Amino acid sequence: MSRFAAPISETIWDMKYRFKGADGTAHDETVEDTWNRIATALAEVEADPSDWQPKFYAALEDFKFLPAGRITAGAGTERSVTLFNCFVMGTIPDTMAGIFDGLKEAALTMQQGGGIGYDFSTIRPKGAAVHGVAADASGPLSFMDVWDAMCRTIMSAGARRGAMMATMRCDHPDIEDFITAKSDPQRLRNFNVSVLVTDPFMEAVKADADWDLVFDGKVYKTLKARLLWDRIMQSTYDYAEPGVIFIDRINRMNNLRYAETIAATNPCGEQPLPPYGACLLGSINLARLVSDPFEDGAEIDHDVLDDLVATAVRMMDNVVDASRFPLPQQQEEASNKRRIGLGVTGLADALLMLGLRYGSEEAARQTERWMHRIARAACLASAHLAREKGAFPLFEAEPFLDSGSLEHMDEDVRAAIAEHGIRNALLTSIAPTGTISLYAGNVSSGIEPVFAYSYTRKVLQKDGSRTEEEVVDYAVQLYRDTHGADAELPDHFVNAQTLAPLDHVRMQAAAQKWVDSSISKTINCPEDISFDDFKDVYMAAWDQGCKGCTTYRPNAVTGSVLTVSESKPEEVAPPERDQAEMGGEVVYMSEPLDRPAALEGNTYKLKWPDSEHAIYITINDVILNGRRRPFEVFINSKNMEHFAWTVALTRMISAVFRRGGDVSFVVEELKAVFDPRGGAWIKGRYIPSILAAIGGVIEQHMVAIGFLEGEGLGLKSDPQAEAAGQPRGAACASCGSFDLRMVEGCSTCVSCGFSKCG
């Protein structure tokens, strides 16, 4: 009997977490093999691995403890990837050499699969003098564009795009340009952006006082703080960015405030980190721990929770020693502080099982009780580890216990830390768990509400036929199983479509009290929310003790999230696609298509200037439902300089083609690649690289077979790619569907489970 609660869960496991060889051969035959692989790898750090491996396996079994995707996919594979999720890079020097050294470090980190954060406040503003070269500075945003271009060319480990966070202080002279930078839908698409908001700024906002924009001691501009605040609010109201990070509160509450200063976070905001800071993530699946769900006695056993948390802390501490790191500075930082980020997922489902309405005062109290229990269990487990293995090297008892997040901790926990020290400087964080939650049976994600009770997922089978699968929330399915398939859901079942924004804030604030890092959460706002009510959400987050705030309101730049049918509020109705676009409806294939014995195709000759030998590109097509679509690519040349990368490229592109969906994004990705050595002029047009030229040939072929309507009409960045009908936002980069939703600050596809944040 399968351990998976839903077909989509097994699909996610197979696509993202199942260990396979380079030829596609599965090393993990079952999900039990995956759990065994992870447990064995993390137990190897122990003095007696055979004693701990079964305990680690038991924690993983049935998806009770969910290590983050990088650990689940990478542990025990011997691949050269990092098991850490989050990095903040070093402080950017205000010099050209230092800036581009930082760019190189970012590329190396993303190459191994790390999402990164950067504070661009250290770069002098646009127009400032550059001494010695008689020039004016181009400003931090110009260098963010360079970072963005670099990120487009880097594919992170685990087959996902690199993710980046850019922050800027609210007193930087270029803050106004930073706030509006992403109003251009083609700019900085690989960045999340957030403003570092200070306590004095918030005081000035409330007092309607003046606010200076300063760099290196020079005041560049003075304006009303409330005016700047309103500009931040207007931008995020209009296109969902920038986010807001209450940076002074973060530093004040930081357990390590005596040893570090934080100025940036990882891409989703749940990990504020110092320069070269690194953190790994994992989640306790609360939905799997509720006994007697939907009954009067439903509860989570505290002893069971304590034991699971203790095992999870030990496993995550071992990851610090088992992981590779892109840079030696990151390894040193991780070893000196041994940060971990243990959080939860399935919170909303667990509350439903207890009969509590997400967002209510009682639900907030229950959330606070659970997070308190997890925090104290994690601290005690880490203190016991310190007694056994030693405290983290920078531990100092008095300043550590005086930090903002420890001062209200239970006295027995504080006493244990004072006596033994603590193994991990920071322990708790609530991360985005979109894909991991799907893998665990479609439990509710992180501390988010249930997004939708069910939705329909279209799947293309190998024979070209289409099937539909209903994907149901874990708690809803459990309720159906126990009360009948047609049973009406109780009144306390609420979802993100009907929840008031201030209910979101209440839940975030309740969890934050016992989380020593931060929380990744998106506060969904209705499109018709008034601007004043929208601003009240951020002020409530500030007043209630949150460390940051991220909202999402449907808008013209980022599009709309999925809508819910009025007749069946429990079902998501994905937007209909224009049948003329891309040759018809895009669906996701259940597994790669087998290659027919014979295929039709074309071969194209590409002559790159200054190259002795031409490149020949063969594209073969398959016919599905009476239409041709690209199936495989071969690239050949006598120039052996290109041999390795052309083989790799053809394998990757062919694998994408065989998965199905709207694969036109391949064209746009290739066309965006630039060669730092320079491109070439071909037929009166500048082509930035050989790869861009290959992308152009593939696009030409797609147009010829009717897969694309015309040049520049594929997915991604081309402004001509506006589809007819109602606005529906961006398409999924994995399967091409328009079934995207915003979860914990990450765009997540409900058709295939792809998430920008993994």
pLDDT digits (tens, 9 = 90+) for 294-315: 999 999 999 999 999 999 999 9
> What number of CA atoms fall less than 13 Å from residue 706's CA on the CB side?
10
Mean pLDDT of 121-135: 87
Give a yes or no: residue 758 inside a domain: no
- For tokens 């509710």, the residue is 444
Q: Same domain, yes or no, for 642 and 509?
A: no
Give a yes or no: residue 232 inside a domain: no
Residue-level pLDDT at 657: 84
Instruction: Classify strands 160-161 and 210-215 as parallel, antiparallel or unpaired.
Output: unpaired
Catalytically annotated residues: 266, 268, 270
Of 520, 663, 514, 665, nearest in space to 586 by CA: 663
Confidence of residue 184 (pLDDT cuts 50, 70, 90): confident
Residue-level pLDDT at 273: 96
Contact 29, 13 (CB under 8 A): no
| 704, 720, 751 - which closes a domain | 704
- Please state the domain count of the chain: 2
Confidence of residue 156 (pLDDT cuts 50, 70, 90): very low
Confidence of residue 559 (pLDDT cuts 50, 70, 90): low
Q: Same domain, yes or no, for 38 and 129?
A: yes
Instruction: Classify strands 454-460 and 588-589 as parallel, antiparallel or unpaired.
Output: parallel
Confidence of residue 572 (pLDDT cuts 50, 70, 90): very low
**CATH number of the domain that residue 266 is part of:** 3.20.70.20
Higher pLDDT, 225 or 559: 225
Higher pLDDT, 686 or 362: 362
* b/e map 163-192, b = 16+ CB within 10 Å: bbbbbbbbbbbbbbebbbbbeeeeebebbb
Confidence of residue 159 (pLDDT cuts 50, 70, 90): very low
Q: How far is CA 600 from the centre of its chain?
A: 39
Amino acid identity for residue 699 in this structure: E
Of 283, 125, 308, nearest in space to 217 by CA: 125
Of 174, 169, 171, 168, nearest in space to 192 by CA: 168
Residue-level pLDDT at 128: 93
Give CA–CA dist 100/412, Å, rounded.
49
pLDDT digits (tens, 9 = 90+) for 509-533: 999 999 999 999 999 898 899 999 9
* 157 pLDDT higher than 50: no
Give the whole-number percent of the chain exceeding pLDDT 70. 84
Give CA–CA dist 272/520, Å, rounded.
11
Lowest model confidence (mean pLDDT) among 53-57, 125-129, 303-307, 706-710: 706-710
* 166 pLDDT higher than 90: yes
Give CA–CA dist 352/335, Å, rounded.
40
Instruction: Classify strands 746-749 and 740-743 as parallel, antiparallel or unpaired.
Output: antiparallel
Q: Same domain, yes or no, for 291 and 396?
A: yes
* 580 pLDDT higher than 70: no
Residue-level pLDDT at 347: 97
- Token pair belonging to 659: 């998965």
- Token pair belonging to 755: 């998430």
Lowest model confidence (mean pLDDT) among 22-36, 514-528, 585-599, 617-631: 585-599
* 154 pLDDT higher than 80: no
Give the whole-number percent of the chain exceeding pLDDT 90. 56
Contact 137, 125 (CB under 8 A): yes
Contact 381, 315 (CB under 8 A): no
Give a yes or no: residue 716 inside a domain: no
- For tokens 């447990």, the residue is 39
Residue-level pLDDT at 309: 98
pLDDT digits (tens, 9 = 90+) for 735-747: 555 566 665 556 6
Residue-level pLDDT at 676: 66
* 234 pLDDT higher than 70: yes
* 690 pLDDT higher than 90: no
Contact 148, 189 (CB under 8 A): yes
Total length of the chain: 758
Residue-level pLDDT at 462: 56
pLDDT digits (tens, 9 = 90+) for 403-457: 888 989 999 999 999 999 999 999 999 998 888 999 999 999 999 999 888 887 7
| 523, 541, 565 - which closes a domain | 523
Q: Same domain, yes or no, for 146 and 34?
A: yes
> What number of CA atoms fall less than 13 Å from residue 332's CA on the CB side?
7
Q: Same domain, yes or no, for 491 and 601?
A: no
Confidence of residue 396 (pLDDT cuts 50, 70, 90): very high
| 523, 545, 565 - which closes a domain | 523
Give CA–CA dist 208/210, Å, rounded.
7
Give the contacts of 225 (CB within 8 A, at least 6 positions apart). 201, 204, 205, 207, 208, 209, 210, 211
Helix (H, G, I), strand (E, B) or coil at 24: coil
> What number of CA atoms fall less than 13 Å from residue 621's CA on the CB side?
19
Give a yes or no: residue 241 inside a domain: no
Alpha helices, DSSP H, located in 158-224: 175-180, 199-207
Q: Same domain, yes or no, for 142 and 44?
A: yes
Q: Residue 95: which domain range?
A: 1-223+246-523
User: E strand or H helix at 192, and its extent?
Assistant: strand 191-197
Give CA–CA dist 6/197, Å, rounded.
42
Question: Per the omega criterion (within 30 degrees of 0), is the bond before 719 cis?
Answer: no
Residue-level pLDDT at 627: 74
Give CA–CA dist 56/494, Å, rounded.
35
Instruction: Report the DSSP beta bridge partners of residue 344.
Output: 284
* 473 pLDDT higher than 90: yes
Give the contacts of 245 (CB within 8 A, at least 6 positions apart). 167, 194, 195, 196, 197, 265, 269, 272, 547, 548
Higher pLDDT, 160 or 591: 591
Considering the entire predicted model, what is its pTM? Answer: 0.77
Give a yes or no: residue 736 inside a domain: no
Higher pLDDT, 714 or 100: 100
Lowest model confidence (mean pLDDT) among 146-155, 187-196, 515-524: 146-155
Give CA–CA dist 619/731, Å, rounded.
24
Distance of CA 560 to CAs 54, 240, 731, Å?
46, 11, 11
Distance of CA 252 to CAs 148, 260, 407, 422, Å?
31, 11, 12, 20
- For tokens 């304006």, the residue is 223
Give CA–CA dist 10/22, Å, rounded.
20
Q: What angle do CA 398, 399, 400 make, to 5 degrees?
A: 90
Which stretch, 422-431, 590-599, 643-652, has highest mean pLDDT?
422-431
- Token pair belonging to 693: 């030229």
DSSP 358-401: TTSHHHHHHHHHHHHHHHHHHHHHHHHHHHHH---TT--HHHHH
Greatest Cα-to-Cα distance within the chain, rounded to the nearest angstrom: 78
Give CA–CA dist 324/78, Å, rounded.
10
Report the chain's mean pLDDT, rounded to a whole number.
85
Q: Same domain, yes or no, for 497 and 610?
A: no
* 557 pLDDT higher than 70: no
Of 78, 96, 92, 114, nearest in space to 330 by CA: 114
Confidence of residue 135 (pLDDT cuts 50, 70, 90): confident
Mean pLDDT of 649-676: 80
Give a yes or no: residue 756 inside a domain: no
DSSP 575-592: PPPPTTGGGS---EESSP
Give a yes or no: residue 217 inside a domain: yes
Q: Same domain, yes or no, for 264 and 385?
A: yes
Lowest model confidence (mean pLDDT) among 468-477, 538-547, 661-670, 693-702: 661-670
Give CA–CA dist 280/268, Å, rounded.
13
pLDDT digits (tens, 9 = 90+) for 207-222: 999 999 999 999 999 9
Lowest model confidence (mean pLDDT) among 564-578, 618-632, 654-668, 704-718: 564-578
Q: Same domain, yes or no, for 22 and 169?
A: yes
Instruction: Classify strands 115-119 and 164-169 as parallel, antiparallel or unpaired.
Output: parallel
Confidence of residue 714 (pLDDT cuts 50, 70, 90): low
Q: Same domain, yes or no, for 162 and 19?
A: yes
Residue-level pLDDT at 744: 56
Of 159, 101, 153, 103, nearest in space to 688 by CA: 153
Contact 424, 393 (CB under 8 A): no
Contact 199, 547 (CB under 8 A): no
Residue-level pLDDT at 626: 67
Give CA–CA dist 607/615, Å, rounded.
6
Q: Same domain, yes or no, for 42 and 191?
A: yes
Residue-level pLDDT at 549: 95
Helix (H, G, I), strand (E, B) or coil at 442: coil
Of 490, 487, 471, nearest in space to 352 by CA: 490
Q: Same domain, yes or no, for 508 and 639?
A: no
Q: What angle do CA 368, 370, 277 make, to 5 degrees?
A: 85
Give a yes or no: residue 434 inside a domain: yes
